[in-house]
Structure 1
């Protein structure tokens, strides 16, 4: 049995334009790292956090990593053991790339490894959702499920939880650009309409079904024309500088589809190959630079496997 473990968990793109709270996929970079050690002192403790500029709490009950680990240990009847956790943030907080999700998933994968993998990655999803609830007030799974399972994931139902891994074209790449502006997830969720027109709902259902079908069929044209959101994007795009200009630039440069990653401000473009993805990130970053907005960019294939051991 291991005494310590180091884990990387990936960032994720949630919603995938039309699939609000029900679709997401994992990427290779960025992500977060957790170092977890057994200790003689009972309880879960956070001894160190790096890369957060002092923004995250060290209180184990208030940090998503330690709180979800506590739920896990209570569930397996091992709340008596001692664990020390170091969290190393390797991705921006509040980026719309599942920052809290990556941390939480890394912690759960680590503790489950130390407990000789008592649960499957899929069985860890409800514990990770507890972390999301702590982070943003709502326990959605469209970040944590792909972070744990890798690939594209559909959450067919929340009650009961029904999570489905979807096939996808292996050559698919994603271009991600994070404009360094502040869009808190809680605020972004509060902007969303609570009531929608039936005709809009029908349009959205068709697009979700079309996107899932396109992934199964490896039909890029179908994927692209299904990546349209009539419910959430029109409101959330207001918070993202030059969103529609960036979308035009990406599509003109060969993107299959373009949208907001999670609640933003990161945007993403699905592409057929890495060269197009790199070209798009350069275009979008230049557009933001014209507005005097700094940005970060990432290019990655879809991550097929989720969290990994680093030691």
Structure 2
């Protein structure tokens, strides 16, 4: 059995506009990397973190990666194992692209590989949710499930957990723009109403069903019509400078649909091909430049495989 592995885990777009906490998909970039070694001394330690500007804890009990690995080892009854972790942040923290999720998933994929693939990708989801609970106070799966399983994922139920893989229409691309402004996940969640009008709920679940149907039917028009959110986006979009202008630019440049990635500030559009996706991000970044806001852009097909071992 191997005693060393290096793993990449992908960023994710959670909610996909209308599916708050129940829909998400993985992308090919950005993502995080984890190096993991088995040692002779029992326990999980974080040896080094790079790319985080000192923001993340080295304390194994407080870091999402090590905490999730510890839960995994408890589950398989291998607390005799020593694990040394190096985390390399290759994506922005607090971007709305599942930064904590990517780190956590990379760690879980790594330890599962080193232990001989004892659990399936779907069986790893609850352990990754523990990491999300540590990161933002709530163990949701709309980032971690697609990061682990790849592709589009629907969380049908949280109690009991029921996670379903959805198909990805051929040729679909994500155009992601991250405006470098601060929107902490916890703050963004606190803005959301705890009670909603029935007519809004009806609109929302109709759109979720439409989006899922559109993915199965490979119907881009239906997907686009369904990418509307009347519950969360109207509130959260206030925190994102130039949001409505970026929506207009996305749609004018051929987007299927547009919305906030996770809790923001990243925004994303779905496109029918790579050229359209690049055109969308270029137009949006030019707009943000006029507002004196720095940004990063990522154009990616939907990542069907999830995490992977890298050499």
State the TM-score, normalizing by the size of structure 1.
Answer: 1.00
Aligned equivalent of 1:301: 301
Structure 1 residue 272, shift from structure 2 partner? 0.1
Aligned equivalent of 1:244: 244
Aligned equivalent of 1:78: 78
Aligned equivalent of 2:264: 264
Structure 1 residue 234, shift from structure 2 partner? 0.2
Aligned equivalent of 1:25: 25
Aligned residues: 311
Q: After superposition, what is the alpha-carbon deviation per residue over 1:92-129, rounded to whole angstroms, capped at 9, x for unaligned?
A: 00000000000000000000000000000110000000
CA distance in structure 2 between the partners assigned to 1:198 and 1:47 by the alignment? 50
Structure 1 residue 286, shift from structure 2 partner? 0.6
CA distance in structure 1 between the partners assigned to 2:163 and 2:102 by the alignment? 18
Structure 1 residue 178, shift from structure 2 partner? 0.1
Aligned equivalent of 2:40: 40
Structure 1 residue 172, shift from structure 2 partner? 0.2
Aligned equivalent of 2:163: 163
Q: After superposition, what is the alpha-carbon deviation per residue over 1:11-55, rounded to whole angstroms, capped at 9, x for unaligned?
A: 000000000000000000000000000111110000000000000
Aligned equivalent of 1:134: 134
Structure 1 residue 281, shift from structure 2 partner? 0.5
Question: After superposition, where does 1:126-275 map in structure 2 within 5 Å?
Answer: 126-275=126-275
| Unmatched runs of 5 consecutive residues or more in structure 2 | none
CA distance in structure 1 between the partners assigned to 2:168 and 2:9 by the alignment? 20
State the TM-score, normalizing by the size of structure 2.
Answer: 1.00
CA distance in structure 1 between the partners assigned to 2:62 and 2:219 by the alignment? 44
| Unmatched runs of 5 consecutive residues or more in structure 1 | none
> Aligned pair 1:90/2:95, yes or no?
no
Structure 1 residue 227, shift from structure 2 partner? 0.2
CA distance in structure 1 between the partners assigned to 2:121 and 2:115 by the alignment? 13
Structure 1 residue 168, shift from structure 2 partner? 1.6
CA distance in structure 2 between the partners assigned to 1:193 and 1:38 by the alignment? 45
> Aligned pair 1:291/2:291, yes or no?
yes
Q: After superposition, what is the alpha-carbon deviation per residue over 1:39-75, rounded to whole angstroms, capped at 9, x for unaligned?
A: 1111000000000000000000000000000000000
